[in-house]
């Protein structure tokens, strides 16, 4: 009989910590301390007997629900990967893995780093890692390897023959060991070059974790569709939907697969074609009902309903989408999709005046050929349905022809020029993100040595939705009450009363930990971003973390309220209650007029203009209402809405009047500073909208390091995580630039 390999101590330590983390997260339900000790003892007995698989099974069996089991399994996966355990090999044979672990304990040695693992990642999932010099060395080497991978990927993608270069690079790398961000870089590169078979190959060779990412599945399904594998695309998307992915992106693509199948079956004279049409309509409806404030993929729904013969429902959905498109267009930003959606709905509703107006707007909005092609495809479908029903199609044909000939270059730049000077002054020196286009990053860059570009991804919006729901704020209807409740929540989360005092122990700790974290994680100037949710989870924050958190809470609240009002409008429309419908539309317009915006500001002495402090703050902007579909170009009210300074400086609430001084925006604050001086606010020279598209796919990044993969937004506690170990290590003076050895 061969001697069993002894279970290495680091494996037991990690499993023991998973038990503690799971108890804290209530994955085991209510478990008494005695029961926890007993559970640990039972697992330890199995480990001591060399029966690791059995011990792990006992850990998983202690979970009362399938969801909890999955959460604990995720923690376990993450922890095992960080120890260098190949989880697929472990499932087959633990003995081999144990032997490898015993020979090369996880954190020792400075060999090639495992790029799919990181102790920081585990820290963010609630597993306490003992940080020591080796962890730091490992993180630095990981950072170097990631920088080298990134450089290789950029070089290949930017070359004259990007697909050939990416293929050559892929051959040199072991795909199964690449980190998610690199894999997504390959996927994006292949998609841009329409190298669909390459995309399919790399997805299928990628680790299982990556293949579970919703955005990766969508790219894969799209590639399958493009290569004529509609059945496999259908299976991949159906599996994603069945696994709980109800995102509008996935449902939209799934709807499209079913729609394509319907077209193919219909063309082939298949009698069962209609079941695909019903499936497509059902899928699009599901996505539309989930987020009626979004335009995609609901915009494809009315034509399908009409084709199915559900004429009144088609009109009802079209009316709601039309109202929503008008609402979105009222910011005057001239987005093509707003105008195109309003045009399509006007044609479905047979409203020639509106169709003419929105066709003009669509032609005068910046658009790319594929965008116009997408609208033309929908309109051609509508034209076919109407022709089959022997209905007039002249207006539809005119729109198709105008869009076919359009250049996509508008006659204006940026937005409607109907904006008042006062509103422009406020908008040009403030910014927001996460609302209409979630994949933006921006923020207070490199202020006093700590770079703070903030990422916002759709996953953040989902996470802050959870934060909002747990707090009960989502039930509030009044914007000002909601804003005040958000402040209360944020200030409790970040212990802001103490943070407001720059000399307080907490603020001093913040000043030590934050630069330490950047050093520890070896963030680079081009990759130093943090993420609004990572900051929330980290629970250590000054004004730079407060402002984006408030913005995300606001956007989550406003989106939730908008969705709720649109659903109520739909119900009132359905029941024919015109008085209620008019009232709800007014309520929607009133809500729509409010925006929360961030300003990188200077607090100055109101008399001398001398700067007192730099500050990142939030303001509430209300615009004057306008006729439906017209731009709200006038400022109605500007309010202080800062969640950070409410004691030292009273910037939490109150109406203020913006003026201009020396060509810059100037806001007098009605209350005085704590030293009795009258103060004013003006934008810092670097305060402007730096929002830029990012290549995020929903991962959680913190100080340049990926700390969690998509899916985190469903599992991580809305309160955040106790990261004391990480903070203590980052705060130590020894994390400075001493030699590694």
Interface residues toward other proteins, by CB under 8 A: 110, 140-141, 143-145, 147-152, 154-155, 168-169, 172-173, 446, 449-451, 515-519, 522-525, 528, 736-741
Q: How many CB atoms lie within 10 A of CB 384?
A: 14
Backbone angles phi, psi at 331, to 5 degrees: -80, -5
- CB 525 to other proteins: min, Å: 5
Q: What span, in angstroms and rounded, lies between the C-alpha atoms of 534 and 460? A: 9
User: Of 379 and 520, which CB lies nearer to other proteins in the complex structure?
Assistant: 520
- CB 524 to other proteins: min, Å: 5
- CB 740 to other proteins: min, Å: 4
Contacts of 305 (CB under 8 A, 6+ apart): 281, 311, 313, 314, 317
**Long-range CB contacts for residues 67-70, cutoff 8 Å, separation at least 24:** 68/22, 68/27, 68/28, 68/29
User: Of 25 and 616, which CB lies nearer to other proteins in the complex structure?
Assistant: 616
User: Of 168 and 627, which CB lies nearer to other proteins in the complex structure?
Assistant: 168
Q: By 3-state DSSP, what share of the chain in percent is helix, strand and coil, each rounded to 5?
A: 60, 10, 30
- CB 383 to other proteins: min, Å: 51
- CB 536 to other proteins: min, Å: 21
Q: What is the 8-class DSSP label of residue 474? A: G
Nearest to 430 by CA among 607, 601, 546: 601
- Residue 565: its H or E element: helix 543-575
- CB 98 to other proteins: min, Å: 29
Distances (CA, A) of 30 to 19, 64, 73, 715: 13, 10, 19, 18
- CB 442 to other proteins: min, Å: 18
**Long-range CB contacts for residues 624-630, cutoff 8 Å, separation at least 24:** 624/593, 625/589, 625/590, 625/593, 626/330, 628/323, 628/326, 628/330, 628/589, 629/326, 629/329, 629/330, 629/342, 629/357, 629/358, 630/330
Q: Are strands 454-456 and 530-531 parallel, antiparallel or unpaired?
A: parallel
User: Of 1 and 741, which CB lies nearer to other proteins in the complex structure?
Assistant: 741
Give the gyration radius of the chain's Cα atoms.
Answer: 28
- HSE-up of residue 408 (Cα within 13 Å, Cβ side): 10
- CB 449 to other proteins: min, Å: 3
Q: What is the 8-class DSSP label of residue 272? A: T
- Phi-psi category of 443—alpha, beta or left, where left has phi over 0 and alpha has psi -120 to 50? left
User: Of 515 and 652, which CB lies nearer to other proteins in the complex structure?
Assistant: 515
User: Of 206 and 551, which CB lies nearer to other proteins in the complex structure?
Assistant: 206
- CB 699 to other proteins: min, Å: 20
User: Of 22 and 530, which CB lies nearer to other proteins in the complex structure?
Assistant: 530
Given a contact cutoff of 8 angstroms between Cβ atoms, the answer to whether 710 and 215 are in contact is yes
Given a contact cutoff of 8 angstroms between Cβ atoms, the answer to whether 303 and 382 are in contact is yes
- CB 440 to other proteins: min, Å: 22
Given a contact cutoff of 8 angstroms between Cβ atoms, the answer to whether 664 and 682 are in contact is yes
Contacts of 653 (CB under 8 A, 6+ apart): 480, 483, 484, 639, 640, 641
User: Of 442 and 527, which CB lies nearer to other proteins in the complex structure?
Assistant: 527
- CB 160 to other proteins: min, Å: 16
Helix 230-242 to helix 214-226 angle, to the nearest 10 degrees?
160
- CB 514 to other proteins: min, Å: 8
User: Of 144 and 627, which CB lies nearer to other proteins in the complex structure?
Assistant: 144
User: Of 393 and 538, which CB lies nearer to other proteins in the complex structure?
Assistant: 538
- CB 356 to other proteins: min, Å: 52
User: Of 154 and 369, which CB lies nearer to other proteins in the complex structure?
Assistant: 154
Backbone angles phi, psi at 416, to 5 degrees: -60, 140
- Residue 235: its H or E element: helix 230-242
* Residue 122, SS3 per DSSP: helix
User: Of 517 and 581, which CB lies nearer to other proteins in the complex structure?
Assistant: 517
User: Of 96 and 144, which CB lies nearer to other proteins in the complex structure?
Assistant: 144
């Amino acid at each position: 009989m061969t001697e069993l390999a002894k279970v290495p101590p680091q494996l037991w330590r990690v499993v023991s910590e998973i038990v503690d983390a799971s108890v804290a997260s209530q994955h085991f339900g209510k478990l008494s301390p005695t029961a926890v000790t007993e559970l640990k003892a039972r697992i330890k007995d199995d480990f001591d007997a060399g029966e690791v698989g059995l011990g792990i099974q006992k850990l998983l069996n202690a979970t009362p629900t399938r969801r909890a089991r999955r959460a604990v399994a995720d923690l376990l996966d993450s922890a095992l990967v960080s120890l260098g355990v190949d989880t697929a090999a472990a499932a087959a044979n633990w003995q081999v893995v144990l032997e490898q672990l015993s020979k090369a304990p996880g954190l020792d040695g400075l060999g090639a780093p495992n790029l799919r693992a990181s102790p920081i990642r585990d820290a963010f999932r609630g597993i306490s890692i003992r940080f020591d010099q080796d962890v730091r060395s490992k993180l630095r080497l990981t950072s170097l390897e990631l920088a080298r991978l990134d450089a290789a990927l950029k070089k290949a993608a930017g070359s004259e023959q990007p697909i050939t270069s990416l293929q050559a690079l892929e051959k040199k790398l072991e795909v199964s060991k690449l980190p998610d961000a690199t894999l997504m870089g390959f996927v994006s590169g292949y998609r841009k070059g329409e190298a669909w078979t390459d995309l399919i190959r790399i997805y299928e060779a990628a680790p299982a974790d990556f293949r579970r990412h919703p955005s990766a599945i969508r790219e894969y399904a799209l590639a399958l569709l493009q290569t004529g594998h509609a059945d496999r695309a259908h299976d991949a998307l159906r599996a994603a939907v069945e696994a709980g992915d109800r995102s509008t992106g996935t449902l939209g693509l799934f709807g499209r697969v079913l729609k394509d199948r319907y077209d193919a079956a219909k063309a082939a004279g298949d009698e069962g074609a209609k079941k695909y049409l019903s499936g497509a309509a059902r899928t699009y409806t599901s996505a539309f009902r989930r987020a009626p404030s979004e335009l995609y993929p609901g915009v494809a729904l009315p034509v399908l309903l009409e084709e199915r013969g559900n004429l009144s429902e088609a009109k009802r959905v079209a009316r709601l989408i039309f109202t929503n498109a008008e609402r979105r267009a009222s910011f005057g930003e001239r987005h093509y999709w707003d105008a195109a959606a309003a045009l399509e709905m006007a044609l479905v509703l047979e409203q020639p005046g509106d169709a003419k107006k929105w066709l003009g707007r669509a032609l005068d909005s910046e658009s790319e050929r594929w965008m116009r092609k997408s609208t033309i495809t929908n309109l051609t479908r509508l034209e076919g349905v109407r022709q089959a029903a022997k209905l007039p199609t002249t207006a539809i044909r005119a729109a198709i022809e105008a869009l076919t000939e359009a250049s996509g270059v508008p006659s204006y730049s940026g937005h409607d020029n109907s904006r008042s000077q006062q509103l422009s002054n406020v908008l040009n020196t403030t910014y927001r993100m996460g609302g209409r286009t979630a994949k933006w990053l921006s923020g207070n860059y490199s202020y006093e040595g700590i770079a703070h570009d903030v990422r916002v991804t759709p996953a953040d919006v989902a996470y802050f939705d959870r934060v909002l729901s747990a707090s009960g704020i989502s039930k509030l209807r009044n914007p000002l009450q909601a804003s005040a409740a958000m402040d209360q929540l944020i200030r409790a989360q970040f212990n802001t009363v103490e943070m407001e005092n720059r000399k307080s122990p907490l603020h001093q700790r913040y000043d030590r930990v934050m630069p330490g974290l950047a050093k520890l994680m070896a963030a680079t100037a081009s990759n130093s971003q943090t993420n609004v949710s990572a900051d929330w989870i980290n629970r250590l924050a000054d004004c730079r973390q407060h402002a984006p958190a408030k913005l995300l809470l606001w956007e989550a609240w406003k989106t939730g309220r908008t969705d709720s009002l649109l659903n109520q409008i739909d119900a009132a429309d359905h029941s024919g209650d015109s008085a209620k419908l008019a009232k709800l539309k007014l309520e929607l317009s009133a809500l729509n007029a409010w925006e929360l915006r961030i300003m990188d500001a200077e607090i100055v002495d109101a008399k001398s203009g001398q700067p007192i402090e730099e500050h990142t703050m939030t303001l509430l902007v209300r615009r004057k209402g306008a006729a439906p579909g017209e731009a709200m170009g006038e400022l109605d009210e500007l309010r202080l809405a800062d969640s950070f300074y409410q004691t030292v400086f009273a910037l939490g609430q109150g109406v203020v009047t913006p003026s201009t001084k020396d060509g810059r925006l100037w806001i007098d604050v009605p209350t005085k500073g704590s030293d009795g001086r009258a103060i004013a606010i003006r934008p810092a020279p670097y305060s402007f909208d730096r929002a830029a598209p990012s290549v995020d796919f929903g991962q959680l990044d913190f100080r340049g390091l990926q700390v969690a993969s998509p899916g985190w937004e469903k599992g991580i506690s809305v309160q955040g995580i106790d990261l004391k170990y990480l903070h203590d290590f980052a705060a130590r003076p020894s994390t400075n630039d001493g030699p590694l050895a």
